[in-house]
Amino acid sequence: MLCAKCISIFLHRSREASDLTHRRTYVHHKWREEVESAAKNGCRICFTAITKFKSFGNWTSIYVQHPLYGLVLRLHCWEGEDDTIHPRGKLEVHLLRLVDLESPPHYLQYAEQVAQDITNGFSSTVREDRFSRRTIPTSTGHNENVALARAWLDRCLKSHAICGQTDDSAADIHWQPKRLVDVHAPDGRLKVVERDKQTVSEPYVAVSHCWGKEEFFTLNAKTHDAAVNAQILLEELPRSFRDVIDFCRRLGIPYIWIDSLCILQSGARSEDDWLDHTKEMRLIYSRCLLNISVNCAASPYEGAFRDRNPTCLSEAYVPSRPPGCEDLEVTNYEWYLVTFEEDYSSALRKGPLATRGWVLQERYLSPRILYFAQDRMYWECSGWRTNECCPLNFMENLEPTGVTRTANDGRDNPSVFSIRSTTFTLSHSRFRNKPSSPEYLLKISLEWFSIVSYYSECHLTYPDKDKAMALEGIAQKLGMLAPKSFYAAGLFSHDLPLGLLWHLPQDKGSNKNGPPAVSNSRAPSWSWLNANSPIQFAIMSMPGQESSQVCTDHYLEDIHVIPQSHALQLRGWLLPTSTIEAVYTSTNSLQSLVYYFDVGRIECKQNGSWWMLPVGKYSNLFGEIQGGLILHKTEVNGQYIRAGMYRYISYARPIDSRVTEELRKHEKVDLMIV
């Protein structure tokens, strides 16, 4: 529900809000005390504003910036009075149109009461607007939340064919994890079942969690027998594990898989057991019925459930008059659901679990995910996404623009929060019968580049050991879509050569603080696996751009990866820096030449001269680009190591043909990048 001041913005009853399409900014609540009072009374917008603006110091009032296209309302908090005020912070209110939602009985009477409240100076009053709402329990572990999660799960199982589609082989269908935890073990005990002793046909839940820094009970060589024989009390487990076991028991799912309880963590056979499980990660998560993600906890001791104030979750609906319908009565307006950025992204971007490297493939591979966040449960599957602010019966009414799935995790659009995107479409697309077509393979490459870029922002406790392993499951899944390709050192063969064009943020290689930006100990120098910082691929698809228009040409020949060493053998133009710069400055077109070094520019100079290897040409919305590698010659004849990459950009026009003509005047040579 909303206070009189907030709902009047949309009812157009207050003088300040009489014409939102022409007035840019006006006072919302003039005094902070009014906002706090409205929040206490149950206004969802004011409650969220108080929470959002808590970190902005002694702000005094809130101003409103009119809705952009009727879909976004901006609230700004200000400090000071009269002509001395200064902006302090901003809150965006996103409106999602609800189709077929009708006005509740007596809503016109409610609107008149709101107008009277504004006239009488009671702007913080919150009235019952007569919409039917789900009762929000005070804890995310409440039985009502179990019922809601069960409803989400049942709806997905019954209605979402795409969520049940897999690329599994016939053998995979009958596969089960090496170990599972039985949530119905008697007498409050931990019971681990093993597939070589017991066949399990019932579904299981896979659990994602943060390990934290404190030690906790794990499966190891010493505890193995006791866990298998149900001799461990559940009280010995950290709170998060007990919460998940309890929730799954009430949810009616008999087994769970937790890495720390299902993989030997130390002692005899633990290393082999870990390697065996890393090879099965794709199946562990893709075959689970549900993934439960304890996103709110930095360690298992913090628990999965949270107490919360139901005010911040109760739905708020607002009317909006359609354009050109000035005389339309409020009961015939279009209806919108009030949402905030936190309604979509907090569970995936702001929780402790969001930056854990291993969790990316757990999210990507699981058919459906239930998140426990700081103040609510979230649901994500390939068919839809929702949370406790968007009840089950209203999600089907959202317009398609409100439920788009993308791979960028909502960083560009707060109304989107899924990491999984085109893999499910690719698996069943019109290209499925043409797995060798260039267009199909390019789509897979762009998907992989997007995943790797996101993954590079995540953290690993043991990057030297886990950098490749933590993405192995996704690599296996994408590899199944391109069976003729092979995977080595972080790239597929169909990614080459343009997959070589990755780079650190500009000047990141010069940073002297912390670990080196690139360490060549994990993989050959050409591989992104060596990066210790976030990376970007030079070739990426952009909104509104067909993937077939991205790649236009590549210049390397006879490119292949040597087995075992993963050195890259190829043939191309290997030119001194001075030659390349002369080629790219030979025209007068609007252009730029940009270098991205894996180490600092000064360090590159100290290590010897640079050699430039043009790799390919591609395009994006800004223009046409030629990209290449910066190489250093080693002491072994014909062998080089990567030192960075460069881009030559021709803005808003194709690259001058004379540039390529100048390159073709040089002979190509055989070389190896190690």
Q: Quote the CA–CA distance of 543 and 446 in Å, as a whole number.
A: 13
The predicted pLDDT at position 599 comes to 75
What is the C-alpha to C-alpha distance for residues 402 and 394, in angstroms, rounded to an integer?
12
Please indicate, yes or no, if residue 445 is contained in any of the structural domains. Answer: no
Cβ distance 198 to 287 under 8 Å?
A: no
Structure tokens at 198: 């017991």
Is the domain of 556 the same as that of 638? yes
Block residue for tokens 């290393």: 271
Residue 398 has pLDDT above 50, yes or no: no
Q: What is the DSSP letter of 639?
A: E
Last-in-domain residue among 384, 407, 426: 426
Dump pLDDT digits (tens) for 266-302. 999 999 999 999 999 999 999 999 999 999 999 999 9
Q: Which helix (H) or strand (E) holds 624?
A: strand 623-633
**Do 286 and 168 contact (CB within 8 A), yes or no?**
yes
Distance CA 357, CA 602 (A): 32
Instruction: Say yes or no to pLDDT of 328 above 80.
Output: no
In a domain, 439, yes or no: no
Q: What residues does 381 pair with on adjacent strands?
A: 368
d(CA 612, CA 616): 12
What percent of the chain clears pLDDT 90, i.e. is strictly above it? 39
Q: In this model, does residue 511 exceed pLDDT 70?
A: no
> What is the average per-residue pLDDT within 516-526?
81
Across 251-409, the runs of DSSP E, i.e. the strands, are: 255-257, 290-294, 317-320, 334-340, 368-372, 377-381, 385-387
Burial of 161 per CB tally in 10 Å (0-12, 13-18, 19+): exposed
What tokens appear for 380 in the block?
A: 């994500």
> Measured between alpha carbons, how far is 247 from 255 in angstroms, rounded to an integer?
11
Q: Are strands 25-27 and 591-597 parallel, antiparallel or unpaired?
A: unpaired
What is the tally of structural domains in the chain?
A: 3
Judge contact between 2 and 44, C-beta under 8 A.
yes
Whether the pLDDT of residue 590 is over 80: the answer is no
In a domain, 665, yes or no: yes
Distance between CA 405 and CA 387 in Å, rounded?
16
| Whole-number percent of the chain with pLDDT over 70 | 79
The b/e string for 47-59 (b: 16+ C-beta within 10 A; e otherwise) is: bbbbbbbeeeeeb
C-alpha dist (Å) from residue 205 to 135, 202, 284, 305: 27, 10, 10, 17
d(C-alpha 585, C-alpha 581), whole Å: 6
| Whether residue 545 has pLDDT greater than 70 | no
In whole numbers, what is the pLDDT of the chain averaged over residues? 81
Residue 567 included in any domain: yes
Q: Look at residue 443 and tell me if it is in a domain.
A: no
pLDDT of 437 reads 77
According to the model, what pLDDT value does residue 388 have? 84
Mean pLDDT within 177-183? 95
Written in H, E and C, the secondary structure of 211-224 is CCCCCCCCCCCCCH
Please check whether residue 547 is in contact with residue 620, taking contact to mean a CB–CB distance below 8 angstroms: no
Residues 117 and 255 in one domain: no
Query: Residue 378 burial (CB < 10 Å; 0-12/13-18/19+)?
Result: buried
Q: Which of 97-101, 179-183, 344-348, 545-549 has the lowest mean pLDDT?
A: 545-549
The overall longest dimension of the chain from CA atoms, in Å, is 87
pLDDT confidence of residue 436:
67
Q: What is the dihedral of CA 445, 447, 449, 452, to 10 degrees?
A: -130
pLDDT bucket at 428, cuts 50 / 70 / 90:
very low
**115-122 mean pLDDT:** 92
pLDDT at 187: 82
Residues 20 and 89 in one domain: yes
Local structure of residue 327 (DSSP, 8 states): T
Write down the pLDDT at residue 158: 92
Residue 289, Cβ neighbours under 10 Å: how many?
19
The pLDDT assigned to 416 comes to 37
Q: Please report, for residues 467, 522, 674, the alpha-carbon distance to residue 464 in angstroms, rounded to integers and kept in the order given.
A: 6, 6, 18
Count Cα atoms within 13 angstroms, Cβ side, for 47. Answer: 23
Question: Is 457 inside a domain boundary?
Answer: no
Q: Is the pLDDT of residue 252 over 90?
A: yes
What the block records as the tokens of 361 is 């493939």
What's the start-to-end Cα distance of the chain, in Å?
Answer: 62
Same-domain status, 331 and 349: no
Q: Tokens 């943060």 map to which residue?
A: 210
311: phi then psi, degrees, rounded to nearest 5: -55, -40
Range of the domain at 668: 486-673
- Residue 419 DSSP symbol: S
Identify whether 304 is part of a domain. yes
* Structural tokens at position 654: 């194709």
Lowest mean pLDDT among 356-370, 566-580, 594-608: 594-608
pLDDT mean over 103-124: 89
Confidence class of residue 600 from pLDDT cuts 50, 70 and 90? low
State whether the Cα torsion 459-460-461-464 is positive or negative: negative
Asked if the peptide bond before residue 137 counts as cis, ω within 30 degrees of 0, the response is no
Asked if 376 and 334 sit in the same domain, the reply is no
- For residue 366, is it within any domain? yes
Do residue 505 and residue 359 come from a single domain?
A: no
Task: State mean pLDDT over 417-438.
Answer: 48
Same-domain pairing of 593 and 559? yes
Overall size of the chain counted in residues: 674
Burial class (CB in 10 A: 0-12, 13-18, 19+), 134: middle
Q: CB atoms < 10 A from the CB of 264, how many?
A: 22
What integer is the mean pLDDT of 395-402? Answer: 36
Same domain, 657 and 594: yes
Q: Does residue 282 share a domain with residue 304?
A: yes
What one-character DSSP code corresponds to residue 652? T
Q: Do 407 and 515 have their domain in common?
A: no
Q: Of the ranges 167-176, 309-318, 640-649, which one carries the lowest mean pLDDT score?
A: 167-176
Q: What is the pLDDT of residue 347?
A: 55
pLDDT at 450 exceeding the cut of 50: yes
Min mean pLDDT across 17-31, 140-154, 413-427 is at: 413-427
- Phi/psi class of residue 119: alpha, beta or left (left: φ > 0; alpha: ψ in -120 to 50)? alpha
Per-residue model confidence (pLDDT) at position 605: 54
Asked whether residue 416 falls in the same domain as residue 512, the answer is no
268 lies in the same domain as 414: yes
Using CA atoms, how far apart are residues 27 and 40, in angstroms rounded to an integer? 20
Is the model's pLDDT at 460 over the cut of 60?
yes
**pLDDT band (50, 70, 90) for residue 94:** confident
CA dist., res. 155 & res. 161, Å (int): 11
Confidence band, pLDDT 50/70/90 cuts, at residue 491: very high
If you average pLDDT over residues 39-67, what whole number do you get?
Answer: 80
The closest alpha carbon to 538, from 468, 453, 598, belongs to 453
